[in-house]
């Protein structure tokens, strides 16, 4: 790494990225390449001699960009957004430029200490109880994804339970609870830590509970399992479900978890970001009862991929479960028991200096601008909802709480709903002018419009609605 060429080449790449953002609206939002397109364009073997950055960037333009779905387009309304920001990008640059591997305190003290500080900053912005923060009795860690956060907390809960039950053979007795709206990452995590699939309870939700998990159903399922000789282990509640943005009743669920001694986790991957605003904080009421809570700053908190915050009430349990002793890791700081070794708070040994990114995002924006960002997305979503409600050919399909709007084109006959709305979404997406995704709520096909890409403005939302109306008109005439 030679500083002179590093400076020049980095400037070239930054210029390339800046141009990408300048032109982003000219690309079809969803890539329309066919599977295998890339191998037809690139050599079959790696080059023996070095190639110039110009040649490489030309290939990025000619071969890579056409195969991208443009997540940073202001016309991206699918899944949940993955916010990027200049601050997030600067943080990524510093993280990858310094390229330290802070697996334990001694391997890079600043990486560990900044992470602890920034996790407390973030936790205080969310008004988490001090029992989940370092300034109290808990603590936080940055993972890459919610899935990792859930695997680690599930493994912790499992180990604690198996120790109490008297051995690993009892794993077949352990049961985990969630709703049918809980992200599938929870099911994957449960599978990864060895919970039998027959012990995974995805309790059904309904329109009447606005797709949130019913405490009565949880209690009944727990009672049934206990009667069958099983051991309830872990309850996962969600603040802002992926399907419809539903919020599970944390207080009541937390009380049940406490009564039956289950680990209580809150997945606030998407909507956690909104809870920094006082008017949305009530969605976290009951968080005091949680053993752990996670949120993805890389979704809606202007933090480039990847960055998942996990807070835990009893970090010692996590460390007991995830630490392995190795001579190569021995050092006096660890033995003094006065430092954190984040390798014991996650799956892998190695880790990036993600805290730098989140720290810069928070400092460069300040809480005021971060709240403004969330509020303006929610205002746009409210306006989009009003447009849907004004047009009698459409209907809302779930209560909008955050910036996700679930709606559909009303079918003439109920059994035509999926096909009609599937065609509508295909027509919108294949136009290249916008990209949305869908879900199925209690058997009904629903279009999801997730507003929140960093560059989205009112005009993009208006254009989206015009596009939807235009395609719907065409379908209804067909």
DSSP-assigned beta bridge partners for residue 406: 448
Considering the complex, what minimum distance in angstroms separates the CB of residue 248 from ligand PLP?
11
Nearest to 232 by CA among 209, 206, 201, 208: 201
DSSP string, 42-59: S-SS--SS---HHHHHHH
Task: Identify which of residues 107 and 181 has a Cβ nearer to ligand PLP in the complex.
Answer: 181
Distances (CA, A) of 267 to 28, 315, 349, 390, 472: 33, 18, 24, 34, 35
Rg (alpha carbons) of the chain, rounded to whole number: 24
Say if residues 270 and 233 touch (Cβ distance below 8 Å): no
Size of the site for ligand PLP (CB under 6 A): 15
- Residue among 73, 205, 238, 292 that touches ligand PLP (CB under 6 A): 238
Which residue carries 């073997």 as its tokens? 45
Say if residues 401 and 247 touch (Cβ distance below 8 Å): yes
Q: Can you say how many angstroms the Cα of residue 364 is from the centroid of all Cα atoms in its chain?
A: 22
Site string for ligand PLP, 193-222 (x = CB under 6 A): ------------------------------
Task: Identify which of residues 149 and 175 has a Cβ nearer to ligand PLP in the complex.
Answer: 149
Considering the complex, what minimum distance in angstroms separates the CB of residue 222 from ligand PLP?
23
- Residue among 158, 183, 265, 357 that touches ligand PLP (CB under 6 A): 183
Among positions 255-284, residues that touch ligand PLP (CB under 6 A) are: 267, 269-270
Considering the complex, what minimum distance in angstroms separates the CB of residue 354 from ligand PLP?
13
Candidate ranges 70-78, 96-104, 238-246, 445-453; the one touching ligand PLP (CB under 6 A): 238-246
Task: Identify which of residues 240 and 254 has a Cβ nearer to ligand PLP in the complex.
Answer: 240
- Residue among 83, 112, 296, 303 that touches ligand PLP (CB under 6 A): 296
Say if residues 306 and 144 touch (Cβ distance below 8 Å): yes
187 binds ligand PLP (CB under 6 A): no
Considering the complex, what minimum distance in angstroms separates the CB of residue 336 from ligand PLP?
34
242 binds ligand PLP (CB under 6 A): yes
> CA 89, CA 322: separation in Å to the nearest integer?
31
Q: How many CA atoms lie less than 13 Å away from 448 in the CB half-sphere?
A: 22
Q: Can you say how many angstroms the Cα of residue 368 is from the centroid of all Cα atoms in its chain?
A: 22
Site string for ligand PLP, 62-91 (x = CB under 6 A): ------------------x-----------
Both tokens of 237, joined, read: 């509640």
308 binds ligand PLP (CB under 6 A): yes
Say if residues 85 and 365 touch (Cβ distance below 8 Å): yes
Site string for ligand PLP, 387-426 (x = CB under 6 A): ----------------------------------------
Among positions 99-158, residues that touch ligand PLP (CB under 6 A) are: 145-147
> CA 173, CA 452: separation in Å to the nearest integer?
42
> CA 366, CA 212: separation in Å to the nearest integer?
33
> CA 9, CA 22: separation in Å to the nearest integer?
20
Candidate ranges 109-117, 153-161, 169-177, 235-243; the one touching ligand PLP (CB under 6 A): 235-243
Residues contributing to the site for ligand PLP (CB under 6 A): 80, 145-147, 183, 185, 238, 240-242, 267, 269-270, 296, 308
């Amino acid at each position: 790494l030679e500083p002179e060429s590093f400076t020049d080449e980095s400037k070239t790449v930054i210029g390339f990225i800046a141009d990408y953002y300048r032109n982003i609206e000219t690309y079809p939002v969803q890539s329309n390449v066919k599977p295998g397109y890339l191998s037809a364009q690139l050599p079959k073997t790696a080059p023996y001699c070095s190639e110039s950055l110009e040649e490489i960037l030309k290939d990025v333009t000619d071969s890579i960009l056409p195969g991208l779905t443009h997540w940073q387009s202001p016309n991206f309304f699918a899944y949940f957004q993955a916010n990027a920001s200049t601050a997030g990008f600067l943080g990524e640059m510093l993280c990858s430029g310094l390229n330290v591997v802070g697996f334990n305190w001694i391997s890079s003290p600043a990486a560990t200490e900044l992470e602890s500080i920034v996790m407390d900053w973030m936790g205080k912005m969310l008004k988490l109880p001090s029992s989940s923060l370092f300034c109290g009795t808990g603590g936080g860690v940055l993972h890459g994804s919610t899935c990792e956060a859930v695997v680690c907390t599930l493994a912790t809960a499992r180990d604690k339970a198996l120790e109490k039950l008297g051995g690993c053979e009892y794993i077949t007795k352990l049961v985990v609870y969630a709703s049918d709206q809980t992200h599938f990452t929870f099911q994957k995590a449960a599978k990864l830590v060895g919970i039998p699939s027959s012990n995974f309870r995805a309790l059904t939700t309904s329109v009447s509970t606005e797709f949130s998990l019913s405490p009565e159903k949880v209690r009944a399922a727990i009672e049934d399992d206990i009667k069958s000789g099983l051991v309830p282990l872990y309850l996962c509640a969600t603040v802002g479900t992926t399907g419809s943005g539903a919020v599970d009743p944390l207080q009541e669920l937390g009380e049940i978890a406490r009564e039956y001694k289950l680990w209580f986790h809150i997945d606030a991957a998407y909507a956690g970001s909104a809870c920094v605003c006082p008017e949305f904080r009530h969605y976290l009421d009951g968080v005091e009862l949680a053993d752990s809570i996670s949120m993805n700053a890389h979704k809606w908190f202007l933090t480039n991929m990847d960055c998942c915050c996990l807070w835990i009430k009893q970090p010692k349990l996590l460390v007991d479960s995830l630490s392995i002793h190795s001579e190569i890791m021995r050092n006096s700081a660890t033995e003094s028991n006065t430092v954190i070794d984040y390798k014991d708070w996650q799956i892998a040994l190695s880790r990036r200096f993600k805290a730098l990114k989140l720290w810069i995002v928070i400092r460069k924006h300040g809480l005021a601008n971060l709240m403004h960002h969330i509020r303006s997305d929610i205002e746009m979503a409210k306006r989009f909802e009003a447009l849907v409600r004004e047009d009698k050919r459409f209907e809302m399909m779930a209560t909008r709480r955050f910036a996700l709007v679930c709606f559909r084109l009303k079918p003439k006959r109920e059994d035509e709903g999926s096909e009609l709305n599937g065609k509508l979404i295909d027509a919108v997406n294949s136009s290249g002018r916008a990209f949305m995704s869908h879900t199925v709520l209690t058997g009904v096909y629903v279009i999801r419009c997730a507003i929140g890409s960093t560059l989205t403005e009112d005009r993009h939302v208006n254009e989206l609605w015009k596009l939807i109306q235009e395609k719907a008109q065409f379908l209804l005439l067909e």
